[in-house]
Structure formats: structure tokens, C-alpha cells
């Protein structure tokens, strides 16, 4: 546990120093204290200011009851030593029995679910925003029907600014992406380079995304890595693409990949033939999907917004704007 705590703190520091400004975390990852410590350390030594960081946290399923939502967010804020989070998401749409266990189970090992109206939970999320505890609110792992429940809620005050779901070339979420675009909701991908291959989540005989021959052929054609091909495809689809790593060199590579892709410094994109070659080849090729819980550290840029060498605008659906102008050395 101590090693894990140290790795999380150090990885977060490295990411911030490399130029990442959006840190995506959650109660369920059980690392908020460590991440908060890293951010405060970087603030204390003058590397960043609090307003330079876009911090995302998530409401866990055992706290979906409306009367628990705000107190649960305050618990996260206390661990972080923050006054607010920049983005607060409902982690998954399914409610579980209230309590301290992440996955409450009965004597037979079955999950104990709770009956909570998602719309009531969303109203409590709106109150968190009104109270200044969350700058923006959104959802994660929602399908179209669940999004429509929120969007069609009588008296809706704020719609979700984003929906974070597993999304990669083996599971491109095209229908959900099209729906989100039609409602001006940003789709954020996790597992952008393929499902995390833990035995409890994934059949180990399923194909490894980055070893796919189609990606390999396109990587050779465009003189890029298979990972860059996969990320470029997502960006051309209009998906916000995360980067995740605990490795210092990989973290630094990730920031360069994202900056290059988002600012077109690579000076390339897929022609329609390659783009649809990926879409047509992969659309029916889905290994088992999964939800995984870990820390994601990523930069969030909607690349079609105004960007310059010294001013980077991070924009989330018009409801949240974050300016970052003091770190042009990263370009």
C-alpha cells in the first residue's frame, strides 16, 4: 500500500511538471489523498497554481441517495484539501447499498444494489454545483437511455457536460458518440489504447489492440506508432482522449503525443480511405468490454477551439473554461 501511495504521488507530480493540467481521479480509486498531496506540493513550490489544475472526481455508487451526495463530495474535498473540484461525475449509473464498502455483498457474495432514482441523484449533483463545490458536473459509464433520463428530467438545471466511457478502436461507441454530439455532451474515453487486460475483467485470449495488424499496417504507412494511429482515429472521431501511465518516460511521451496531435504539429491526419478502413474493420470486432479503476492523468483539449503557443483553452461544453498561459515551454 505504501509503495502504491508513493507511486501515485510521484506519478502525479511528474505529470504536472511535464505539463498535464487535467487530473482525473475518484473515490473508488482510493488514491485521492495521495493525488491531493502531489498537487498541493506542486502548488507550494510554485510549479502551478490551483486554478491551473482541472481536477475531476466522481460520486461512488454507495452514495447515490440524494441526501448523501454533497456530504460525500465534501469527504473527497477534505482528503484533497481543496475547496472545490473542477468536474464532478456520477461514476456509474447503478446505485449500491449505502456504506463504507466499495462493493457491498450479501452472504452469497452477490452485490447489494440500492433503488435510487438517477434523476434525484442528478438534482443533488446540481446542488453541489450551486454550492460552489463543483465547477461542472457530468456522468460516466452512461448509455443513451440513462442520459435521456437526465436530459428529459422536468426542471433540469444543468445537463451533463461530459460522459466518460470505455472507447477505443475495438469499441468505438459510434452511436453513443453521435448522440452525445447531438446534445452537445463531450465524450471522454477511458481505455483509449484498449481494455486493461486484468484477468478479472478480460478474456486473456482476446486480441491485444496495439498488436492489431490493421493498426500495424497504418502505422507503417504513416510512419507513426500503433498507439498514435489509435489516438489519431479517436480524435478525428471527436473523442477526448486520455493518457495513462505511472512511468516517467511514458508520461512525458504522452504529453508530447497529445500536444502534437491536438495542435497539428504532426501535420497529418487520416484520409477518408484509412479512416473508414479502421471503422469498417473494427466496428464488429469487440473483445469483452470492461470498466477498470485506476488513476488516469490526462490533458483535455478540444482541438477545434482556439489554441496558440502561449495560451491553451480547455473548454468543456461551454459551462467550464480553464485558461493556462504560463507554461509555453511545453510546446
Q: Grid cell 486480441 — which residue? A: 207
170 falls within a domain: yes
pLDDT value at residue 192: 82
Task: Please tell me the least confidently modeled range out of 20-34, 73-87, 193-207, 253-267.
Answer: 253-267
Helices in the chain by DSSP H: which ranges?
Answer: 2-18, 32-44, 66-80, 118-130, 144-151, 174-182, 213-222, 226-237, 248-262, 272-282
Q: What is the mean pLDDT of residues 234-260?
A: 74
Residue 83: which pLDDT band, with cuts at 50, 70 and 90?
very high
103 falls within a domain: yes
CA distance 312 to 225: 26
pLDDT tens for each residue of 14-39: 899 988 888 999 999 999 999 999 99
Residue 189: which pLDDT band, with cuts at 50, 70 and 90?
very high
Statement: residue 259 has pLDDT above 60: no
Statement: residue 171 has pLDDT above 50: yes
More confident residue, 9 or 193: 9
Statement: residue 250 has pLDDT above 80: no
232 falls within a domain: yes
Q: Give the gyration radius of the chain's Cα atoms.
A: 20
Residue 202: which pLDDT band, with cuts at 50, 70 and 90?
confident
Q: Which residues are catalytic?
A: 29
Torsions phi, psi of 261, nearest 5?
A: -65, -50
Statement: residue 224 has pLDDT above 50: yes
Given CA atoms 211, 215, 220, 225 in this order, what sign does their dihedral have?
negative
pLDDT value at residue 287: 31
Domain range for 207: 2-324
Q: What is the mean pLDDT of residues 161-189?
A: 94
Beta carbons within 8 Å of 109's beta carbon, 6+ residues apart = none
Statement: residue 64 has pLDDT above 70: yes
pLDDT value at residue 227: 82
Contact 81, 60 (CB under 8 A): no
The helix-helix angle for 226-237 and 213-222 (nearest 10°) equals 90
Statement: residue 66 has pLDDT above 80: yes
DSSP sequence for 265-324: TT-----HHHHHHHHHHHTT---------S-EE-----TTS-B-SS-EEEEETTTEEEEE
CA distance 273 to 27: 43
- 228: cell is 498514435
CA distance 49 to 58: 22
Mean pLDDT across the chain: 79
226 falls within a domain: yes
Residue 309: which pLDDT band, with cuts at 50, 70 and 90?
very low
Torsions phi, psi of 236, nearest 5?
A: -65, -25
Residue 238 Cα distances to 44, 100, 174, 307, 311, angstroms: 36, 38, 10, 17, 22
330 falls within a domain: no
pLDDT value at residue 234: 85
pLDDT value at residue 282: 41
| 211 burial type by CB count under 10 A (0-12 exposed, 13-18 middle, 19+ buried) | exposed
Task: Identify the three-state secondary structure at position 106.
Answer: coil
Looking at residue 114, which CATH number applies to its domain?
Answer: 3.20.20.100
More confident residue, 261 or 321: 261
More confident residue, 172 or 118: 118
Statement: residue 294 has pLDDT above 60: no
331 falls within a domain: no
Residue 165: which pLDDT band, with cuts at 50, 70 and 90?
very high
- 298: cell is 490526462
329 falls within a domain: no
pTM comes to 0.78
pLDDT value at residue 292: 27
Residue 105: which pLDDT band, with cuts at 50, 70 and 90?
very high
Beta carbons within 8 Å of 297's beta carbon, 6+ residues apart = 11, 12, 15, 20, 22, 23, 24, 243, 244, 245, 251
Statement: residue 79 has pLDDT above 50: yes
The proportion of the chain whose per-residue pLDDT surpasses 70, expressed as a percent, equals: 75
80 falls within a domain: yes
pLDDT value at residue 303: 26
Number of domains observed in the structure of the chain: 1
pLDDT value at residue 274: 61
Q: Which residues pair with 171 in a beta bridge?
A: 168
Look up residue 226 and give its DSSP letter: H
CA distance 113 to 89: 19
| 128 burial type by CB count under 10 A (0-12 exposed, 13-18 middle, 19+ buried) | buried
Q: What is the mean pLDDT of residues 44-67?
A: 96
138 closest CA partner among 32, 68, 71, 58? 58
Amino acid at each position: 500500500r505504501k509503495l502504491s501511495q508513493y507511486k501515485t504521488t510521484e506519478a502525479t507530480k511528474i505529470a504536472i511538471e511535464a505539463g498535464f493540467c487535467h487530473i482525473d481521479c475518484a473515490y473508488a480509486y482510493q488514491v485521492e489523498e495521495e493525488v491531493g498531496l502531489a498537487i498541493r506540493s506542486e502548488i507550494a513550490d510554485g510549479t502551478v497554481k490551483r486554478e491551473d489544475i482541472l481536477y475531476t472526481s466522481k460520486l461512488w455508487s454507495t452514495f447515490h441517495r440524494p441526501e448523501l451526495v454533497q456530504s460525500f463530495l465534501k469527504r473527497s474535498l477534505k482528503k484533497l484539501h481543496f475547496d472545490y473540484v473542477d468536474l464532478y461525475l456520477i461514476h456509474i449509473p447503478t446505485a449500491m447499498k449505502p456504506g463504507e464498502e466499495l462493493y457491498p455483498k450479501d452472504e452469497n457474495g452477490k452485490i447489494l444494489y440500492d433503488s435510487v432514482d438517477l434523476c434525484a441523484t442528478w438534482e443533488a449533483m446540481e446542488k453541489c454545483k450551486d454550492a460552489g463545490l463543483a465547477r461542472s458536473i457530468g456522468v460516466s459509464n452512461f448509455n443513451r437511455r440513462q442520459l435521456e433520463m437526465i436530459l428529459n428530467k422536468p426542471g433540469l438545471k444543468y445537463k451533463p457536460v461530459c460522459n466518460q466511457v470505455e472507447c477505443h478502436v475495438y469499441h468505438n461507441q459510434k452511436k453513443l458518440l453521435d448522440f452525445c454530439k447531438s446534445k452537445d455532451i463531450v465524450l471522454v474515453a477511458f481505455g483509449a489504447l484498449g481494455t486493461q487486460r486484468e484477468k478479472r475483467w478480460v478474456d486473456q485470449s482476446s486480441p491485444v489492440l496495439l498488436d492489431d495488424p490493421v493498426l500495424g499496417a497504418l502505422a507503417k504507412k504513416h510512419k507513426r506508432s500503433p498507439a498514435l494511429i489509435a489516438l489519431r482515429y479517436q480524435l478525428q472521431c471527436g473523442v477526448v482522449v486520455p493518457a495513462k501511465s505511472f512511468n516517467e518516460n511514458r508520461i512525458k511521451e504522452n504529453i508530447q503525443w497529445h500536444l502534437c496531435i491536438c495542435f497539428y504539429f504532426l501535420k497529418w491526419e487520416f484520409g477518408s480511405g484509412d479512416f473508414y478502413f479502421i471503422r469498417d474493420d473494427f466496428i464488429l470486432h469487440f473483445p469483452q468490454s470492461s470498466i477498470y479503476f485506476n488513476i488516469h492523468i490526462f490533458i483535455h483539449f478540444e482541438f477545434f477551439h482556439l489554441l496558440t503557443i502561449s495560451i491553451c483553452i480547455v473548454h468543456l461544453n461551454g459551462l467550464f473554461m480553464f485558461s493556462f498561459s504560463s507554461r509555453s515551454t511545453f510546446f
